[in-house]
Amino acid sequence: MSTVLLIADHDGKNLNTGIARSVACARQLGTVHVAVFHAPDEDAACAAAAKLDGVSRVLSISEPANEGPLAAVLAPQVAALAREHEGGYDYVLAPSTTFGKDLLPRVAALLGVPQVSDLMEIIDARTFKRPIYAGNVITTVKVPDGIPVLATVRIASFAAVDDGGDAPIVSASTDAELPTHTRYIGLSAAGGGDRPDLQSAARVVAGGRGVGSKENFEIVYRLADKLGAAVGASRAAVDAGYVPNDMQVGQTGKIIAPDLYIAVGISGAIQHLTGIKDVGCIVAINKDGDAPIFEVADFGLVGDLFQLLPALEKALDGS
């Protein structure tokens, strides 16, 4: 049976929620091993990975150099692990997050094989569908025989697996020579703070041009914090300087698939809708009742967002 090596995206304590979605993809291809590269005494992500339904084994690779998610340091280890496993892994996957997009091309280069980006559907063992042209076209790609399949998984296309597994956690190591020209300094998120990651959050509150200013965006942050949600924005809000561009959702931003998406002051241009077409439930808040966002929304509130959002906050507080 084919074996799949899935590289865990984590912050030293918690798994990125995109891993549970990636497992759903990986288990369609074969036996799933999750590799967790971490610093000594930071193995909490291993336990979390072992609980995911469909994971057969968790590989714990502990190195001081693995303190941070540095692609330059991790790629040689992943490539070595892929080669050294009992004849080699048939598949090497990573979530299509910033982490995965940074890491897997380096691994592909080290292994001398092509990479499939944003795998969204499995047709057969070597044939897949992926979006191109910002999701406007879906193309079918086939990986040549005789080489491992490397792919980043479009997490918006797969439902997360549940907990309930009890995979063994096995210590592993590689003979990879680690580079010394790159070192980990720290990790910071522009505007995100301690909120969930936008690309993998179950709930997202996003603001658009209708919010009016950078200062007014605080009302969006407050609602998001009440819901334990990530914060996103339309391109118009980013271009206006209300928020940094890493919060942009849409054709030229992030493609997301939360269970709940609240669009505040977002008109709903087609470029924005491209980024939310896999959302479970869309709630639109806009004073323009003819805004295109209402055509795709499951629930719509027509009115002044500066009155409606405080009312929603009070309702969430039970007052």
The predicted structure's pLDDT at residue 136: 77
Question: Is 99 exposed, middle or buried (CB count within 10 Å of its CB: 0-12, 13-18, 19+)?
Answer: buried
The predicted structure's pLDDT at residue 242: 96
Segment 59-76 mean pLDDT: 92
- 97 within 8 A of 155, measured Cβ to Cβ: yes
Residue 319 has pLDDT above 80, yes or no: no
Mean pLDDT (the chain) is 91
The predicted structure's pLDDT at residue 196: 84
* Structure token pair of residue 249: 């959702």
The predicted structure's pLDDT at residue 71: 93
In the chain, the percentage of residues whose pLDDT exceeds 70 is 97
The predicted structure's pLDDT at residue 41: 85
Segment 120-134 mean pLDDT: 92
Q: What is the phi-psi region of residue 264: left when phi exceeds 0, alpha when psi lies from -120 to 50, beta otherwise?
A: beta
Q: What is the third-level CATH fold of 3-171?
A: Rossmann fold (3.40.50)
Note whether 3-171 and 203-317 share their fold: yes
Residue 257: which pLDDT band, with cuts at 50, 70 and 90? Answer: confident
* Structure token pair of residue 47: 């336990």
The predicted structure's pLDDT at residue 190: 55
Q: What is the third-level CATH fold of 203-317?
A: Rossmann fold (3.40.50)
**Which residue, 123, 122, 128, is CA-closest to 142?**
128
Segment 175-202 mean pLDDT: 77
Own/partner contacts of 254-258, CB < 8 Å, gap of 24 or more, are 254/198, 254/199, 255/131, 255/135, 255/154, 255/156, 255/199, 256/156, 256/198, 256/199, 256/201, 256/204, 256/232, 257/155, 257/156, 257/157, 258/201, 258/202, 258/203, 258/204, 258/229, 258/230
Segment 135-157 mean pLDDT: 92
The predicted structure's pLDDT at residue 67: 86
Segment 214-234 mean pLDDT: 95
Q: Running DSSP on this structure, what letter comes out for residue 213?
A: S
Residue 207 to residue 287: CA distance in whole angstroms: 13
The predicted structure's pLDDT at residue 235: 95
The predicted structure's pLDDT at residue 1: 80
Greater pLDDT, 122 or 14? 122
319 Cβ contact list (under 8 Å, min separation 6): none
Residue 244 has pLDDT above 90, yes or no: yes
The predicted structure's pLDDT at residue 251: 83
The predicted structure's pLDDT at residue 120: 94
Residue 264 to residue 55: CA distance in whole angstroms: 38
Residue 236 has pLDDT above 80, yes or no: yes
Segment 52-80 mean pLDDT: 93
The C-alpha angle 294, 239, 203, rounded to 5 degrees, equals 50
Q: Domain ranges for the chain, please list them.
A: 3-171, 203-317
- 272 within 8 A of 266, measured Cβ to Cβ: yes
Residue 85: which pLDDT band, with cuts at 50, 70 and 90? Answer: confident
In the chain, the percentage of residues whose pLDDT exceeds 90 is 70
Segment 152-159 mean pLDDT: 91
